[in-house]
């Protein structure tokens, strides 16, 4: 069953919060990690920060376009993602946290894509493009995990 406009706005706000939380954790991990093995991961996360921020901006534009208001900092719902590890050489923990965040983003976009069917094709199109971007991140970090967990 297609969702109402209000329900779509609420789902977009959830995605918006998730993108901003991702930005915060990717910045932290791209700065905090230590060691030779961390360099590639840091570079990759650093580049992703810009992409995730762009996703948040695109979601904000769409929220506005369909009659919603972009939430301020007191209203965004964050804190649910895996936090940067205490051990700053634990590259594998960071990779796993990124995979979890990207999987959650993919799940949220899939949910919105389904909810928009027959109701809002422009939002659906945006979320399909965002899903494609998150799937790329996911596969990249799944590849890193393969390499970093090889004994």
Q: Does 55 bind Fe ion (CB under 5 A)?
A: yes
Rounded-to-integer distance, Cα 35 and Cα 20, Å? 27
Residues within window 67-96 making contact with Fe ion, judged by CB under 5 A: none
Neighbours of 40 (CB within 10 A): 13
User: Which one of the spans 16-24, 65-73, 75-83, 92-100 is the region binding Fe ion (CB under 5 A)?
Assistant: 16-24
Closest of 150, 151, 147 to residue 44, by C-alpha? 147
Q: Does 134 bind Fe ion (CB under 5 A)?
A: yes
* Residue placing its CB nearer to Fe ion in the complex, 9 or 106: 106
Q: Do the beta carbons of residue 93 and residue 37 sit within 8 Å?
A: no
* Residue placing its CB nearer to Fe ion in the complex, 21 or 52: 52
Q: Does 21 bind Fe ion (CB under 5 A)?
A: no
Instruction: Determine which residue in the list 124, 137, 141, 144 makes contact with Fe ion, applying CB under 5 A.
Output: 137
Give the interface size with Fe ion as a residue count (CB under 5 A).
5
Residue whose tokens read 């376009």: 65
Least CB distance to Fe ion at residue 22 (A) = 6
Q: Does 62 bind Fe ion (CB under 5 A)?
A: no
Structure token digits, residue 4: 């109402």
Instruction: Determine which residue in the list 52, 58, 60, 124 makes contact with Fe ion, applying CB under 5 A.
Output: 52
Closest of 19, 20, 10, 15 to residue 67, by C-alpha? 10
Determine the straight-line distance between the first and last CA of the chain, rounded to whole angstroms: 48
* Residue placing its CB nearer to Fe ion in the complex, 90 or 134: 134
Q: Do the beta carbons of residue 21 and residue 83 sit within 8 Å?
A: no
Least CB distance to Fe ion at residue 107 (A) = 12
- φ, ψ dihedrals at 84, nearest 5°: -55, 140
Interface with Fe ion (CB under 5 A)? 19, 52, 55, 134, 137
């Amino acid at each position: 069953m297609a969702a109402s406009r209000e329900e779509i706005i609420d789902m977009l706000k959830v995605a918006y919060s998730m993108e901003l939380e991702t930005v915060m954790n990717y910045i932290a991990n791209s700065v905090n990690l230590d060691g030779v093995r961390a360099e590639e991961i840091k570079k990759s996360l650093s580049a992703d920060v810009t992409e995730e921020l762009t996703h948040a901006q695109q979601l904000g534009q769409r929220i506005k376009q369909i009659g919603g208001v972009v939430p301020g900092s007191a209203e965004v719902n964050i804190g649910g993602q895996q936090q940067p590890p205490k051990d700053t050489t634990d590259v594998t923990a960071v990779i796993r946290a990124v995979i979890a965040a990207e999987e959650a983003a993919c799940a949220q976009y899939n949910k919105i894509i389904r909810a928009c069917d027959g109701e809002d094709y422009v939002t659906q199109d945006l979320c399909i493009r965002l899903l494609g971007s998150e799937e790329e991140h996911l596969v990249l970090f799944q590849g890193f995990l393969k390499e970093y967990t090889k004994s």
